Structure 1
Amino acid sequence: MGPRPPVSGARRALLAAGGALAVGPWLAGCERAPAEVAGGWVGADAARGHALRDGRLPRADASSARRCSVAIVGAGVAGLAAARALRHAGIDDFRVFELEDAAGGNARAHTMGGMRCPLGAHYLPLPGPEAREVAELLHELGVARSEAGRTVYEERHLCHAPQERVFVPSVQADATAPGRWHEGLLPLEGAGTGTLAQLRRFAAEVGTLQRALSFAMPTLRSRWSAGLAALDAQTFAAWLSARGYDDARLLAYLDYSCRDDYGAGLGLVSAWAGIHYFASRHGFHAPGDDDAEPADAVLTWPEGNAWLSERLARGLDDRLQTAALLTRITPARHEVALEVWNARAARPERWQARQVVVCVPLFIAARLIDAPPAALADVAPRLAYAPWLVSNLQLHAPLLDRPGPPPAWDNVIAGSPALGYVDAMHQSLRPVPGPTVLTHYWALGGQSRAELNAQRARLLAAPWAAWRDAVLADLLPAHPDLPQRLARIDSMRYGHAMIVPTPGLRGDAALAALGTAQGRLHFAHADLSAGSVFEEAYTRGTLAGQAVAQTLGGDPTSRRST
């Protein structure tokens, strides 16, 4: 989940070799896990969000209101970035309200057997020239430094080699081995001339679009045009079909790319999103061509992007209020009233703020705000959010390996409906393998809104044990010894993990309007960019925080806590 490198980088390709795109009835008929494998659900408290949805929480007495200059609703990456921008401007009279027990949103961490592991996004591509705010953060945190006019990244933060591999199951019933690992995520062993021709044609077409149109990361720095709008008006599947792309390997590769970055497949995301995936970075390079590049460098940590979010949250102290469920936001002429359910104290609270930065998904913002802005009321019903399952598997001993390259950071199983796994201990410098945690990712957005909604319902309704068994069944073709080395599985389910860039969304006028202040409300969330990646959320939050600081100007009351 989260930010991603270009085509040759991590978490990219689902090969057609042995691979079906349909999820299928994976909760029924999968191989059962040993009953002694412990674990359960961790992370998000769905009941809190559903309490807001169902309107079950009491309201606070208006006479008991507390005050702050700025209220930040949501402590994901955007909310933490907004808080950082306020602090850099010398404004410390703010309050950050977070639904969950910890800040970070989709960039939170977990610990198993003393080993840290991610509950969501797990890496950050090296920022390009448009991601100025992200680059500044990395310099501030000591991840990057400037030398002789160029940026140098600390080696310990860069993903160690080997970075990626894919397991291709054998398609022959009498094969002596059930499959083997291949270096990279798009090996061309056995590919015909038709596959190579379509890969090269697609690479050329992406290059042409990259030169002709404006693609940028973050996307708010791209210049919207009629050409981009034409891509945005259709699904990626329709665009590919109209151009005669029908090679099974290529389509499976691109479908995996979309599910990895957007949580849904070719049939649901727009052609703009599909091309942006490549063109906003370094393009698409057909494997084997002279211009094909090695795997691009990415930044990663055992706990994933929680390494970043935890550092953003440092020093907020009591200005960060977790387990705080916003139930209502009421803008008025001079102030904004906020009603909060304090889950720890089991009581309602009321706050008054001069400015509010709304850093929650837009479908939630539409529920919270009394008389929401017209643009929000317009766009919210059209939004789609992909459900995800993230499972951390604690191993007490290393897995036996199939033939091929050695264990990598990113490990994909061809033909799987899931996205593979990363090894949380890959970045360690230990001389021999040992206990580790594998983080398994499963995007459940599907190929249509109907499939997305059905998968969300299944994710929330099926018991943890059923999903445990499904995850194990997904991994067993590559790791049949997994049950014997497994100590525990902890899973995090996201009902609305990330916005899906459906056709027409990126160029939507109402969505664009929310990028500017709506009275005393400032919206700052990756939803505004039609894509949930770190660069988008962090940039949106930073810009909103800076705008609020400019609005408050020289008022000295914003520089002391009340």
Structure 2
Amino acid sequence: MIGLASPLPVLTGCDFLKGADAISGTYTGVAQDRGHLLREPSAERPPDITHRVHTVIAGGGIAGLAAARALRLRGHDDFALLELEDAPGGNSRGTQVMGIACPQGAHYLPLPGDDAREVQDLLEELGLRRRVAGRWQYDERHLCHSPQERLFFNGQWQDGLLPVQGVGADTLAQYRRFAALVADAQRRAHYAIPVLRSQFAPDQLAQDAITFKAWLDQKGFTDARLRWYLDYACRDDFGAGLGAVSAWAGLHYFASRHGFQAPGDGDDGPHDAVLTWAEGNGWLSARLAAPLGERLHTGRVVRRIAPEREGVAVDAIDVASGRTERWLARQSIVALPLHVAARVVQPAPEALRQLAVGVRSAPWVVANLRLRAPLQDRPGAAPSWDNVIYGGAGLGYVDAMHQSLRPVPGPTVLTWYRALGDAPDARAALLNAPWSAWRDAALAELAAAHPDLVRKTLRIDVTRYGHAMAVPAPGVLSQIDRWRKLVARNQLLKSEHLVAAQFADAPRLAFAHSDWAGYSVFEEAFTLGHAAGLALA
């Protein structure tokens, strides 16, 4: 069993792990030591080399890649993008394990609504959606194939992730009552993705003041199955559970998209469709990065961003050579997490410092299990793209080969996720734990549904994210509202559709990262990056 009190596995009676020591693997994907260079005081010395460019983008996650695309669309090609890791994409990178592509982080994109029109435009550009006879159609090759998701519950698999097999009338009644409250919330206020297109209505700000757990307690939602599902949803999207995220975040999960359907009360059809690929959202990040060419500079640790008399100076370490680079630019887009931006921007705007203190991030573990052959399955629903274990500390797994059109199952990669935003001292434990601890954690959770997992697993590669995503804890929405009003009051630069994150005391900087939305999803990062790129183009 893996308890929430500790991020590390506490395993007892582990005969099913016999043979696990023969499985190879390693930590991969994130160079922790590079990020930790920011903790060291920067020595004042002349740079080894100086570059001149019109715009520097610091950070090559989805926000930075979106900003680069926006600059290109406006005809601005004189820019450089500096990325810490050896490949861009941030949490949306893909990889391969023994020849099979798989995600290293985010693994799907819900079909965007009209609030996320910048994302809709991107999907049109990539050929993923087009208008046919007056209606939008998505390329079915990229939509998640059926069956989409299943839950291992009461010893067998069931369709869908909401526990329904054998639950009683009281449980179903609470499902229906929660569905009604979500529908009422949707009627009373607009819950938008991206968040900055929400109403910030009094109801929403009141929900932001308390935890989702406290809100459920107030409303009398006591059913264990419902609370497990809602906790799972929060850990999946926000990196932490009911007791950590705000009631606004818990409701936003449903109210901003497809609502909540109680069994038998709604059509669970196309509105739940998602786009996915073997390498997850790495498919998207690779296509955003491809046009950059020599303007993309990976293995760069940005240590200082400071205004100059006629522009901005960005200092970075080239990891490969060890040289210190200075990039002199007219302007810079800071596509870095808030806690990093507040450290490297000198001096940091007061609003940036306040937001950085108020937003905490959740560590994550992603393990890719390379299988030699299909797994033995328990009774019930057929193997799906997303497969979740009821009561598991992790978030289940996705099957990298689910989109394949092969006629019979074969070797594949299962990508297992574990959010650690609830665990005390999780970040330190994450960095100090041996690789074998996460190997055993993944195997222990999934072996309940697949008893032959160990003997069919060849390799497990583990990716650790110390600061994977912002957690929308109580108060975060109110902080974003205050920043939004500050921008409007100062009449700072705006994009065509959305206010860009800029401040009067840093006019040559625009900020772009999903942290500014209070939680991490592709639509938030992309829209904010696009806005920053247009504001400075």
TM-score range, shorter-chain basis? Answer: over 0.9
Distance 1:34 1:187 in 2: 31
d(CA) in 2 for partners of 1:237 and 1:353?
Answer: 47
Residues 391-444 of structure 1 deviation map (CA, whole Å, 9 limit, x = unaligned): 000001110111112211010011101000000000000000100000000011
**Which position in structure 1 is the counterpart of 2:502?**
517
Structure 1 consecutive aligned stretches of length 4 or more whose deviation exceeds 6 Å? none
From the superposition, tell whether residues 471 and 289 of structure 1 become closer, same or farther in structure 2 (CA, over 3 Å).
Answer: same
> Equivalent residue for 2:376?
400
**CA–CA distance in structure 1, aligned partners of residues 302 and 267 of structure 2:** 51
CA distance in 1, matches of 2:67, 2:7: 42
1:304 aligns with 2:280: yes
SS at match of 1:35: helix
**Is residue 452 of structure 2 the alignment partner of residue 481 of structure 1?**
yes
C-alpha RMSD over aligned residues? 1.7
Distance 1:533 1:457 in 2: 25
**After the TM superposition, which residues 32-431 of structure 1 pair with which residues of structure 2 at under 5 Å, given as runs?**
32=17, 34-55=20-41, 58=43, 61=46, 64-169=49-154, 179-290=155-266, 293=269, 296-431=272-407
The reply on whether 1:490 has 2:461 as its aligned counterpart is yes
Could you tell me which residue of structure 2 aligns to residue 537 of structure 1?
A: 525
Conserved in 2, the CA contact under 8 Å of 1:60 and 1:348? no
* 1:196-221 deviation per Cα after TM superposition (whole angstroms, max 9, x unaligned): 11111111111011011111111111
Alpha-carbon distance in 1 for matches of 2:30, 2:48: 32
Counterparts of 1:50 and 1:26, CA distance in 2: 22
> Offset at 1:65?
2.7
Deviation string 1:108-165 (CA, Å, 9 cap, x unpaired) is: 1110121100000000000101110101101110111111221101110000011111
User: Which letter maps to 1:40?
Assistant: T
Task: Work out whether residues 424 and 437 of structure 1, in 8 Å CA contact, stay in contact via their aligned partners in 2.
Answer: yes
Q: Distance in 1 between matches of 2:66 and 2:379?
A: 45
Q: Provide, for residues 278-323 of structure 1, a one-character-per-residue CA deviation record: whole Å limited to 9, x for no partner.
A: 0001211111225555771110000000000000001211111000
Equivalent position amino acid for 1:67 in 2: R
Secondary structure of the residue aligned to 2:326 is strand
**5+ residue gaps, structure 2:** 488-499
Decide whether aligned partners of structure 1 residues 322 and 427 sit closer, same or farther in structure 2, where only a CA change above 3 A counts. same
- Is residue 504 from structure 1 mapped to residue 475 from structure 2 by the alignment? yes
Q: CA deviation at 1:102?
A: 0.3
TM-score, reference length from structure 1: 0.89
TM-score where L is the length of structure 2: 0.93
1:425–1:381: structure 2 CA closer, same or farther, 3 Å change rule? Answer: same
Q: What is the percent sequence identity of the aligned residues?
A: 55
- Distance of aligned partners of 1:41 and 1:62 in 2 relative to their CA distance in 1, 3 Å threshold: closer
CA contact (8 A) 2:363 2:469 kept: yes
Q: 1:511 to 1:259 in 2, by over 3 A?
A: farther
Are 1:233 and 1:270, in contact at CA under 8 Å, matched by a contact in 2?
Answer: yes
Distance 2:118 2:318 in 1: 33
Q: In 1, distance between residues paired with 2:470 and 2:282?
A: 20
In structure 1, C-alpha distance between the alignment counterparts of 2:110 and 2:52, rounded to whole Å? 39
Q: Which amino acid aligns with 1:109?
A: G
Amino acid at match of 2:518: A
SS at match of 2:141: helix
Secondary structure of the residue aligned to 2:353 is helix
Kindly state the Cα deviation for residue 24 of structure 1 after the two structures are TM-superposed: 5.4
Aligned letter for 1:524?
A
